[in-house]
Chains A and B, each alone.
Chain A
Amino acid sequence: MVKDQEFLKSKASYCLDLAKKMGATDASVTVGHSISETVNFRNKSLEASDRSDGLALSIETYLGKRRSSISSSNLLDENIKTLVEKCFETTKITPEDEFNSLPDKNLLAKQISSLNLYDETRFENDKKIKYLKDLEESASSNNQIINTESSFTENKSNFILANSDGFCDGYKTSSFAASCVAVAKDENSMERDYEFSSKRHLSDIKQATDLGNKAAKQTIRKLSPKKIGSEKINIIFDKRISKGMLSVFASAISASAIARGTSFLRDKIDQQVFADSINVIDKPDIIKGMGSQNFDSEGVNSNTLQLIENGILKNYLVDTYNGKKLNLKSNGRSGGTTNLYFEKGNISYQDLIKKDSRSLYITETIGHGSNIVTGDYSVGATGFLVEDGEFKYPVNEITIAGNFKDMFKNIILANDLEFEYSVNSPTMMIEGMTVAGK
């Protein structure tokens, strides 16, 4: 069983009391406990089981404007004492930073509403095994599939965040995740693809057979790929790739990147950065949402933020420290976005695919080719050549490149938004990107 609130609270207040006694002017502490159990299958039989049970503690002590932090997994009182001592000793010799402080008291979360983020259901390993058997049975039903690997993970966590201004709160969360990676082979090639499902509640996880079938189907259709020539072409990003554009956008508008001047979106508030049909929203209070939270990692209340309104940048993601630097109030985004999404567009998936006589549909990208400073983008890609709305053949060993400043202004979104993950996007088309191939 995951440790209860009382246990975590007692550890947290022990830390805060010690820090105060030693002379810290302020302190904040997070104590968490997490239990997770994973079962892995390969080719329809059990391959591994993995159980993890982990406590984690992190402490920050302040002496005026001096601050340092320490973290540990050892929660024995004696060890905590040594850690707090070491942390405070370090604080004393760390230089002052005028922006260091606990969050403003009036911004701290006051009322915690239930977002239904915890499902206490125990899914015993035997049941995980049954699920994975069914999954792999359906994934390997086509004889072009030569290998399947799948896993089921169940996680239960609890935490308490407390600071010397009297904030002390936390809550349990759970997650269940099933995934399947399939390998298919024909005379020309061997290809891999995947499908997964991750939810707060067990009952929302995709059916095992559906998940297996989808993984197999997505893998088989990649067989015998061709390389295409280098050209300018409109690119359609599958949902699992288009949501990545939002993640890049989120790191470019984090207050830390803005304050440091290392973002291509610096000084762009109230300016057009996306096509004017685009709206981007970060909503922390979605019931059962994978990214939902009652408060951020500093205890600051987080409300829904409209980040992009009709293409115009309206807000950065602000935490206390960088907010003070930028003269902005924290908007409860220490730790990043919550449930981030593009509002759906007004063209159907089918119409988007048919929009051009010839386009490239991307299902996977590899590499770390996003530069937040310059906005340059260049990654390896695999996908399909689409002609007149039909998938003609799979394509690989190509790269796609552009600059986010231009790409963001040329986005067209389909109307197929679904709330599956903590970042969600409809299918996306970006016009005029460069493909490098033969």
Chain B
Amino acid sequence: MSNFFNKSDLTRQDADKIVSETLNNCDDGELYLEESKSESILLDDNKIKNSNYSSDLGFGFRAISNEVVAYSYSNEISKDSLKNSSENLKSTLKSIKGTYNHEIPKSNKKFYEDINPIEQKTLDSKLEVLNKVNDFLRKKDGSVKQVTASFAGEQKSIEIIRSGGEALTDVRPLIRFNVSVMLEKNGRKETGVYGIGGRQSYDDYLKNDNWKNVCEEAFRIASVNLESKPAPAGEMKVVLGPGWPAILIHEAIGHGLEGDFNRKKTSAFHDLMGEKVASEGVTIVDDGTIDNRRGSLTIDDEGTPTERTVLIENGILKNFMQDRHNARLMNTRSTGSGRRENYRHIVLPRMRNTMMLSGNQTQDEMIKSVDKGIFAVSFGGGQVDITSGKFVFNCTEAYEINNGKIGSPIKGATLIGDGPSILKEVSMVGNDMMLDPGIGTCGKAGQGVPVGVAQPSILIDKMTVGGTKL
């Protein structure tokens, strides 16, 4: 745990005093202190290309009155700097008065350990694994022309100081291991990427030569793509595999259910609470409480313990995801979804681990039921237009389905759909829910935060596939 008050002339008593005095006449707000240490080590083109270590320290001071949020941050933790920020906040909110809400729920549960993954393993041993990855893949097959492998590790310590002196702390480890391989055969080049990660030590992920599985998977995806044909264009049935393809849920539904867009009525879902927005059998939750997952948090960035929030239950819209600010303005409670990339950014309601729960059909049944369509196994990134509800994501591994059978692999194509109606097109929900491997980063308003997704196989009756073959 970082001690933020031995770094300069700022004592805890000073901080408490400035915070209480600044937030006295506000509805909410806090001082957020953060210290992060991170490393990234990259092997590329047969060499260790880069080893980077960075440390970051700073605070963000927030004051909220009515609908107005004033924010000021600095990476200098000192009495002067905090006072300057305080003055800046007061000048924005000078004419608006509020009543501070001291209430914040408490919990003793923790979803990851207080560890520093960077220090737990020597740099040498990490370099050794990366070199092994490179050798393994290059020896595996003559078609391997490029290998990129990387480790990224982080420890972030935060402390939230609220008016009245209440302090909440959290220490968050996060690691990521990634392999990308490019193959070349008969003049054609294709890439395959696979990675794993979570709020854990590197050892937990890399024991028993686990890195080999990551290499095999990246190689397999690239090999499949070497044989791929142009993708079809037009509306058709789509079977999604389990796990990572749940970024469809994240883009199509998740963002539209974030509190801020619904308070502002700019989300296509804002007037659909209690309505049927998905087929029967579709239940979607956003869960921050799964042990060691990339999207899990013991407390969110406002200090609220996270929870498992039911968003859609059996097709009916039940809850939005809320931070304290939007919850207050919408007369509801925070769901522990207030997150920020770091102290430089304001808190927004964000997803954690977004999951569609299992039904009782099999992937086989789904494929057999499709005359003409595609089977999408893995995706790159996705994006959504919250207001129109239209969303896209890009296949990185997909196959044609013809007459109930899986056919040739197809080239990366974008799938596009309509968020509020897509889940009504779900006609089968599989019994094979799977978590993603721990690689997701969600972007919103210029802030990236780690997230997770999960889903079983699903059959969507109608979606537009953006290939080139008419």
Using a CB–CB distance below 8 Å, which chain A residues touch chain B? 42, 45-55, 68-74, 76, 79, 83, 86-87, 90, 93-95, 97, 125, 146-147, 149, 183, 189-192, 225, 227, 229-232, 259-262, 325, 364, 366-369, 371, 373-374, 376, 378-380, 382, 396-403, 434-438
Contacts and interface: CB of A to CB of B under 8 A. Distances in A.
A94 B51 contact: yes
B412 interface: yes
B470 to A, nearest CB: 6
A230 B73 CA distance: 50
Contacts of B50: 68-69
Nearest to A222: B388
Contacts of A436: 233-234, 416, 464-467
Given A366-B383, A398-B464, A402-B468, A374 B52 contact: no
A265 B38 CA distance: 34
A230 B234 contact: yes
A87 B386 CA distance: 44
25 contacts: A51-B88, A52-B72, A52-B73, A54-B344, A55-B75, A73-B58, A93-B123, A149-B264, A190-B388, A192-B387, A262-B189, A366-B383, A367-B416, A373-B189, A374-B189, A376-B412, A378-B394, A380-B466, A397-B417, A399-B392, A434-B468, A436-B467, A437-B235, A438-B235, A438-B464
Contacts, number: 240
B209 interface: no
B190 interface: yes
B75 A74 contact: yes
B56 interface: yes
B103 interface: no
Contacts of B146: 260-262
Given A380-B392, A398-B416, A97 B48 contact: yes
Given A191-B388, A376-B411, A48 B45 contact: no
B56 A378 contact: no
A396 B465 CA distance: 14
Contacts of B48: 94-95, 97
Contacts of A55: 75-76
Contact of B190 (A149, A373, A379, A396): A373
Given A401-B468, A436-B466, A369 B387 contact: no
A399 B387 contact: no
A380 B385 CA distance: 10
Contacts of B55: 72-74, 79, 83
Given A48-B71, A93-B124, A380-B383, A71 B52 contact: yes
B68 A47 contact: yes
Contact residues on B (Cβ < 8 Å of other chain), bracket: 35 or more
Contact of B346 (A48, A378, A400): A48
A399 B70 contact: no
B468 A366 contact: no
B316 interface: no
A373 B124 contact: no
B414 A49 contact: no
B455 interface: no
Contacts of B2: none
A231 B393 contact: no
Contacts of B85: 51
Interface of B: 8, 44-45, 47-58, 67-76, 81, 85, 88, 91-92, 123-124, 127, 145-146, 182, 184, 188-191, 231, 233-235, 264-266, 268, 344, 346, 380-388, 390-394, 411-418, 464-470
The 3 closest A-B pairs by CB, nearest first: A399-B466, A380-B392, A436-B233
A93 B124 CA distance: 7
A401 B394 contact: no
Contacts of A149: 264
B53 A87 contact: yes
B346 A50 contact: yes
A260 B146 CA distance: 7
A135 to B, nearest CB: 17
B386 A368 contact: no
B234 A50 contact: no
Q: Which secondary structure dominates chain B's binding surface?
A: strand
Nearest to B84: A53
B127 A369 contact: no
A374 B182 CA distance: 11
Contacts of B388: 189-192, 225, 382, 396
Contacts of A376: 411-412
A54 B465 contact: no
A253 to B, nearest CB: 16
A183 B266 contact: yes
A302 B390 CA distance: 42
Q: Which of B44, B49, B51, B191 counts the most A-chain CB atoms under 10 A from its CB?
A: B51
Contacts of B465: 399, 436
B392 A437 contact: no
Nearest to A367: B392
Contacts of B470: 230-232, 434
Contacts of A52: 72-74, 344
Contacts of A147: 264-266
B47 A95 contact: yes
A371 B180 CA distance: 14
Contacts of B71: 48-51
A378 B386 contact: no
A229 B470 CA distance: 10
B466 A366 contact: no
A68 B394 contact: no
A69 to B, nearest CB: 5
A438 B417 CA distance: 11
A68 B49 CA distance: 9
A394 B33 CA distance: 47
A74 B464 contact: no
B467 A50 contact: no
A221 to B, nearest CB: 14
A54 to B, nearest CB: 5
A105 B276 CA distance: 68
Contacts of B381: 367-368
Given A95-B47, A367-B392, A435-B233, A49 B70 contact: yes
A73 B73 CA distance: 12
Contacts of B189: 261-262, 373-374
Given A398-B416, A401-B467, A369 B47 contact: no
A127 B85 CA distance: 20
B400 to A, nearest CB: 15
A48 B260 CA distance: 14
B466 A400 contact: yes
Contact of A48 (B68, B127, B268): B68
